[in-house]
Structure 1
Amino acid sequence: MRDTTPGGAHGAARPPHGRLLYGCMGLGGTWDDRPYTAADIDHAQAAVEAALDAGITAFDHADIYRHGKSEAVFGEVLSRAPGLRERIVLQTKCGIRLPAEGRPGLYDLRADSIVRRVRESLARLRTDVIDTLLLHRPDPLARPEEIARALGDLHSEGLVRQFGVSNMSAAQIDRLQAHLDVPLVANQLEMSLERRDWVEAGVLVNTGAAAANGFPAGTLEYCAAHGIELQAWGALARGRYTGAEPSPAADLIGELAAAKGTTPETVLLWWLQRHPAGIRPVVGTSRPERIRACRDAAVGEPGLSHEEWYALWIAARGKPLP
């Protein structure tokens, strides 16, 4: 059965949906080969319902999450809710192979591996089409022309609507795009108030600290210039600023949330969304109450002033800007 939603697999692309994505890495039970349980499906359903309640309709997966069980329980949730697939956007990733049978973990963007893993994801997700496929991490042995052949085949077969990357620099994206007939539409990077190297890189130019920063210079600018959406994984910083531990930044987030009648989670996401690069955060918590706490970031404009944005940055840095 082929996708019959408006536009179809070859028509107008459906993604993106909304200002946030829900990251499904926390769904599916344990990080081992034990099968998922009915309780794991219920847990996934509660998280999906909380995301929908919060106005989030795009869901981010990877074939390796919980050894494939994250996708599988999501497929179970879709089977419980007829019509839900047509209301949401599904994104998944491939390119990482977990350690197995004495083989170390490695990256694999060979054409046959990409195609095989996408077909496996489709089966687990119980869908006919993936809205966006991201290449999870760069594979130093990958040949761009081979990747292009695999992506072209997946697109022409109607199995994937559009493509992106994850954890790649501007130079890596540019080299890959030169071989593709379809545009890369997203780059997913770790970005948060805790992981700030992406924004620090822009102000450490011509300082002694620039060399130690490590973030590939020009990546944000390249993505903005080429219409490539920036997605931020780890956006909630594992709860560091919203209850996990006290800090000046956490205190300021709490004060701003109270003053603006919203939640600390929303303020934390607003900090990313306020940046002109158009960052789209990925919310990765599996706790329904924390998912719902992100609603104001999903449905409204970021409510931080210029000064408030800088105050949060400096509080997290723990020292003045250069």
Structure 2
Amino acid sequence: MSEASRIALGMMRIENLSAGEIRELYTGARDAGVTLFDHADIYGGGEHGCERRFSEALQLGATEREQIVLQTKCGIRPGGKGFDFSADYIVRRAEESLEALGTDYLDVLMLHRPDTLVEPEEVASAFSQLESAGKVRAFGVSNHTAQQIELLKTAVTQPLAVNQVQFGLGHAALVAQGIAANMEGVKQSAMRDGGLIEYARINGITLEAWSPFQRGFFSGSIFEQGGLRELQTVIARMAAERETTPTAIATAWITRHPARMRVVLGTTKASRVAEAVEGAGMVLSRAEWYELFAAAGYEVP
């Protein structure tokens, strides 16, 4: 498998782009050094719409296909009808994704959101079928806690290499709770995910930060959302000092963390991808990192 870049380009918004626009976005990302392209079976109306548009627009040859990392997700039933981690469902949706993407294999297949009705043996059966058939090369999860991963590992034998989670300056609970640990009366000290970031580092799981520039759960961009004036001011100052962009600074804040997270962008602008790639190449000082964290409204005891 090709090496995944620190920046991934998410494909959830490409369904209504023209073939030319998709090619321009892809080419711009590749020129910037991006090799990782992120999909999900439900992107684009629930039935592999964005996967199909990606394939039809790009018509990737064998050489180009080997040079990129294609990952997709399954487990959310289309139409908001819950989740399904049964073996038959996982295998069927993965095979549909293969057909839609026009490829013989997926570099990574992830379980999209936790299914509380999960039976780990079912997941194990699906993963083994897909791996032995050469259809999936690596596996992971998305939005899972440490204990949910541990539950899967009671039966799943393949390494769970990736966990895709929401993270960024507007949604930083993964680090905020640890920074304020044991601080009675400080809201952010509440442990919500069981120390997921530390668990990932201990177990060699790569975290991928989705919606990296959103505040909260799709409450708006940190660059535009009201109530974040201090953060926007600090980002703008640091960007001016480094002769770069706010996007680069916000990306650098994520990639500075020693967990070595990847950043999954949802943009359809190649210029924004290039800015994020530049940010991933920067190294913020500890002082800068904590200044941004505090400016985002979090406590630094």
Does the Cα contact within 8 Å between 1:241 and 1:247 map onto a contact in 2? no
Which of 17, 20, 23 matches 2:4? 17
Q: Which has the larger displacement, 186-195 or 44-53?
A: 44-53
Q: Deviations over 1:50-96 (max 9, x none)?
A: 21122111001000001221101111133166632122100000000
TM (norm. structure 1) is 0.85
Matches within 5 A, 1:237-252: 237=214, 240-243=221-224, 247-252=229-234
Q: Which residue of 2 aligns with 1:313?
A: 293
Structure-to-structure mapping, 1:199-218, within 5 angstroms: 199-207=175-183, 208-209=185-186, 213=190, 215-218=192-195
Q: Give 1:123 shift.
A: 0.5
Q: In structure 1, what is the Cα distance between the partners aligned to 2:201 and 2:115?
A: 24
Corresponding residue for 2:244? 262
Read off the aligned partner of 2:112 and give its amino acid letter: H
Judge conservation of contact 2:71–2:110 (CA < 8 Å) in 1. yes
Is 1:219 aligned to 2:190, yes or no?
A: no
Aligned to 1:156: 132
Task: State the 4+ residue runs in structure 1 displaced beyond 3 angstroms.
Answer: 80-83, 209-214, 241-246
Alpha carbons 1:54, 1:294 under 8 Å: kept: no
In structure 1, how many angstroms separate the alpha carbons of the residues matched to 2:242 and 2:91?
A: 47
Q: Which amino acid aligns with 2:130?
A: L
Higher mean C-alpha displacement, 289-298 vs 70-79: 289-298
Give, in whole Å, the separation in 2 of the partners of 1:283 and 1:144: 30
| 2:35 matches 1:57 | yes
The letter of the residue matching 2:5 is: G
Distance in 1 between residues matched to 2:2 and 2:150, nearest whole Å: 22
Please give the per-residue CA displacement for 1:149-187, whole angstroms capped at 9, x wherever unaligned. 000100000000000000000011111122122111011
> Counterpart amino acid of 2:194?
A
1:231 aligns with 208
Deviation (angstroms), 1:105: 2.3
Indicate whether 1:85 and 2:61 are aligned: no
Equivalent-residue separation in structure 1 for 2:163 and 2:36 (angstroms) = 15
Deviation, 1:244, is 5.9
Aligned residue in 1 for 2:278: 296
RMSD between superposed Cα atoms in Å: 2.0
Counterpart residue type for residue 264 of structure 1: P
Which sections of structure 2, spanning at least 5 residues, go unmatched?
A: none
The number of residue pairs the alignment matches comes to 293
**AA paired with 1:321?**
V
**1:26 to partner: Cα distance:** 1.2
| Structure 1: segments with no counterpart, 5+ residues | 1-13, 30-38
Contact persistence 2:180–2:189 (CA under 8 A): no
1:276 aligns with 2:263: no
Which of 175, 179, 201 is the equivalent residue of 2:151? 175
Identity, % of aligned positions: 40
Q: Distance in 2 between matches of 1:128 and 1:65?
A: 20
Say whether the 8 Å CA contact 2:180–2:299 is kept in structure 1. Answer: no
SS in structure 1 of the partner of residue 264 of structure 2: strand
Would you say the 8 A contact 1:90–1:132 is kept in 2?
A: yes
1:135–1:114 Cα change, 3 Å: same
